[in-house]
Every structure is written in C-alpha cells, then in structure tokens.
A and B are shown apart, each in its own frame.
Chain A
Amino acid sequence: MENSLKVVVVEQDRDRAIAIVDALNDACACDVLVIGDASALARQIAAHQPDIVLIDIDNPTRDMMEEMTLASGPLERPVAMFVSGNADGLAEAAVEAGVSAYVVDGLEPGRLKPVMDTAIARFSMVRQMREELAETRRALEERKVIDRAKGLLMKAKGIDEEAAYALLRKTAMNQGRRVADVAEALVTAAGLLG
C-alpha cells in the first residue's frame, strides 16, 4: 500500500492553490501537485497518476476532466466524478462548497474522507469570499446608478441632492421596488429620451 495519497489540485490562482496545498498537508499524509495551466491538463494529470483530482466547480476546464473519466481517456486507472450514493453525503457537501473531486476507483473511503473534509472546508471559505466580493461590486455598481439618477432628477426638477434622493426612495416605497431598480429604470428611460 502506498504511504501517501497523490492529490492533484487544478487551480490557476497561485494564492488559492497555496492555501489549499497547506491545508491538505496539515490534514493528511498526501503528496499534492498543483496544475495551473489548463492547456496541458490531460498530459500533466496522466504523468502524475493521482488518486484524487480536486477542481473548482466553477472552472470551465472541468469538462476536460470529464473526458479523462472515460475508459478511452488518458488516465490508465478508472476515475469517477465523486458520485452520489456515498453514505455520509460527502458528494452533496462538496458540490455545495464548490469543489468537484475525481477519485480513482477502489480508493478506500476512510482515506478519502480527511482529504475531502479539508477540501470542502477550504473551498467553502473561498466561495464565501468570492460571493462577498461580488456583493460588494454589485453594491458599488448600484451606488453609481443611484448617483446618476439623483443627478438626472436634480437637473430635470431643479431640486437639491437630498430632495432627489428622497424622491427616489419615496417612489421605490410606493411601487414596492428597490431604490436601485427605480434608479436604473430612470437612467434607462433618460437614455432613451436622449
């Protein structure tokens, strides 16, 4: 029996990759390789012969991994997408966390569990950060639209900024919509009317 599991992590972002590798090394005896270059994915994976491949669920190169799970693919040992039917719901947890795992057939579940638990925890964290970032960006975007709407109102009605904002809020409240949505509608309409 081999001493350590061979794990491949497909990740382009260097910092993220390092974080995942560190976490895995702390959690279990495993030999981790990071692949960042998608174009050589198949060759590199075939060369390394991993027991487990971990890849972000949002990574478009995942479809290339699928090819490797087929009998005719470049991996000599049969590999399966980490499938349902696993007793402790590990697969669902993995999908929820945004990690997809490809596991070589016949790997004992007991050896897999610590790797997956760690990966799930790590990917969850990254996913959460990414969602927060997207939320921040969206909020910024909305702020810009609201500012433009305020400007339009100030010019059209000759009112000050505070009054313009109050008008936006009041309209949104009356219509049961978000202020950002009302602002966007106004900006679009103003664009159309030129």
Chain B
Amino acid sequence: MKEVKVSVAYMPLVDAAPLIIAEEMGFAQTEGIALDLVAAPSWSSVRDMLAFGRVDAAHMLSPVPIALAMGLGGAATSLSTVSVLSVNGNVIGVGKPLEEKLRANGFAFDFANAKAAASALAEVCDRPLTFGVPFPFSMHVELLRYWAAGTALNNTGIAIRTVPPPLMASALAAGEVDAFCVGEPWGSVSVDAGVAALLLPAKAIWNFSPEKVLAVRTDWAETEPDLLGRLMRAVWKAGRWLAKPEVRASASDLLSRKAYLDVSAELIDRALSGQLMISSRGDHRRVDGFLEFHRGAATFPWISQARWISERLQKTHGGTVLDESTLRRVVRPDLHRQHLSIPGHDMPGASAKVEGSILAPTAVASAAGKLVLQPDGFFDGQVFDPYP
C-alpha cells in the first residue's frame, strides 16, 4: 500500500517527539500516511510555512493560533489547534553573574518554589531583569509575565526580549539578556556549555500548561477530514508510546539523530526523564511530570486554557479577547473528539475546566470513566474560571 504524504513543519526540540516518533515508530504508517517532517529555522518560519500552504500541519507554540486570530503578528490565514502535543517542559535559567550572586546569598536552587526563586532574584537586582525567550507569542512569555506580576519581581518589573535559543549563550555573554525561559534541550545545552544555571521548571508557575500544539489550516481541516484524522491518531499513539518509561532510551536515541535534534541522547533523556542537571557544578533535580505527552488527557485542547491564553495576550498586546465562537473555531475539542474516539482513549466529558483547581490527581467524568487529571495549580493558588 502506498502511504499518503502529509508534510509537517517542526522546530527541532524535545517536545516535537510525538511527530518524530509517529513517523519513526510506524504509527503514521499504520494509519496509511507518511510524515514528511520539515525542520524549520524559526517559529515565524513554521507559522508562515503552514499559513502559506507549504506544509499541511505544524508543531506550534500554543499561543500562536490564538494570537493570529486576535490579529497579532503575521499572516491572516486562520489556523486551528486540533491536539496538544506536549504539556510543560520549559525551564527558566539565569546567566553566570546572576547565579553567583544568588549563591552568595545562600539561595539553594531547589528548582521548585516559584515564589522563593522570585524573591531571591529580586534581592540581587535593582533594575528590571531581561529575559530571553524564543518567540513573542509563547507560553514562555505568558508564564514569565504571570510569575513576575505575582511575586517580588513585580517591584522592578521584567523585560522580555526575543532571542533564538541557539543564540542565547552569546546573548548571555554579551549581557543582552540576564536570564531566559526556553524549551529543552536548550536549557540543558546552556548548563553544559557552562553559561547558565536552571532556576525553575516553568511547571512551577503553572502545573499543567499546554506548551506545543498540533496546528493545521482551518480550511485544510475542513477539506481533508480523513487525512487529519489519520494524522491526529498517529500522533496521539506516538504520545502514548512516549509515556511508557521503558521506551525512554530508544526515544532519546531516535530524537538525537542528526536529521532531528542533533544533540546527544543523554541530553534529551534529561527532559524525557525529568532528571535535570541544573548547574555546571553537576547538581541534579528531579521533576515529576516535567514534560507530558499523554498522561492526564495531555493531548486534549481545553477551551479554558485557550481562554486563559487569549486573556493574557490581550493584557500584553492589547486587542480583544476572542469571543466563545471564535475561540471554538481556533481551538478544536470538537475535532479531537471526532477523530480520536478510539479504543483506549478516554476523553473528558467537558471541554472546559476551572484551571488551577486540581491540586491532586483527580478522577473526572469521562467517556470510559477511567480518566484521572493531573494537578493543574498555579504557583499563587489562584484559579481561572473561563465562565465567571
């Protein structure tokens, strides 16, 4: 049987794993498709390739389709989020000068307490700290802003600057940025290069935030429902495979190949296992759920998360928060339900939840009655009710 080619643009990051695994481990082939994976040099390039039709689908920062619909940045084509590819997985790191000041003050680098980390940072600087992030519309930016606004960092404020992660080390060295928030493997790369120490996993700010999504053109989703379904199933199965602890070594090996991430498998394994080396002195910290591809309905595109993102984008960039019907054209729990009703996949009964209200793994109403959602709390204990 000849497979149908589906082209997918991605950034070479650990959280592109479900796409790479879908192709490499034969999940795509089982669905009768072959993924043509196109590595992109920048997020703007991923977005444009998708918007202008050079690819059918893309690995995308979760806020990008929402930002586009709000008229922020770039092409006017409308995109739809059909699945979440990964939950969490970013890290906040500080450059050497900040690391030394923090250590001199006795800061323990616990890699867990977001409030304490912010207080410690505020103590050692008397000007707004500049954070490098990969892209203006990203969870990196929104989580940094949310964190800074609710902590001691609010006194001086923070500045955020876009720096492509491969250039982060030189930006730190040149003093263009003091700190950064990036996805793996870039945090670990900077630790190994001896230019930074990791301060927090972004998970310490929001315990269960949608990081990358599977995005397609809205009109493509309508004209190619069959291909879309096959793509979504292949990627979902890859995420389920990735969630098995025993496959980690093989997954790290595959991702490390030259054609994909082109960094050592050991570096990738840190993100997949949640065992991170946080400083060049070799300190290790373990984070449960550092990067999720499957557990706790991780792939489900929650309307409530989309609304949180839209409101945060509006706070930063102006414009209007998307109304309910527009939001539901951009983020598609309906397509998720339609195409992923397959044996073994238990989906939540509702498409929105009060974000931040789950503090321990909790069983919820679902199709098969077996779904347990993971904690989704914010660091400040606030909740976000999408329909107040």
Contact = CB atoms under 8 A, between A and B. Distances in A.
Contact of B42 (A60, A83, A84, A96): A60
Contacts of A175: none
Contacts of A70: 72-73, 136, 317
Contacts of A84: 51-52, 75-77
Given A72-B317, A81-B44, A92 B75 contact: no
A100 B45 CA distance: 9
Contacts, number: 83
A65 interface: yes
Contacts of B318: 71
Contacts of A69: 73-74
Q: Is the interface of B mostly helix, strand, loop or mixed?
A: loop
Interface stretch (B110-118, B143-151, B166-174, B267-275): B166-174
Contact of A61 (B74, B161, B167): B167
A59 interface: yes
Contacts of A96: 54
Interface in B45-94: 45, 48-49, 51-54, 72-77
A88 interface: no
Interface string A44-81: 00000000000001111111111101111000000001
Contacts of B73: 66, 69-70, 81
Contacts of B74: 66, 69, 81, 83
Contacts of A63: 42-44, 134-136, 162, 164
A69 B75 CA distance: 12
Interface in A84-124: 84-85, 91-92, 95-96, 100
B85 to A, nearest CB: 19
Interface string B117-141: 0000000000000000011100000
Contacts of B167: 38-39, 60-61
B194 interface: no
B169 to A, nearest CB: 12
A60 B41 contact: yes
Interface in A17-64: 38-39, 57-64
A66 B63 CA distance: 14
A98 to B, nearest CB: 10
B16 to A, nearest CB: 16
11 contacts: A39-B171, A61-B167, A63-B43, A63-B44, A63-B134, A63-B136, A69-B73, A69-B74, A70-B73, A72-B316, A81-B44
Interface of B: 41-45, 48-49, 51-54, 72-77, 134-136, 161-164, 166-167, 170-171, 174, 176, 316-318
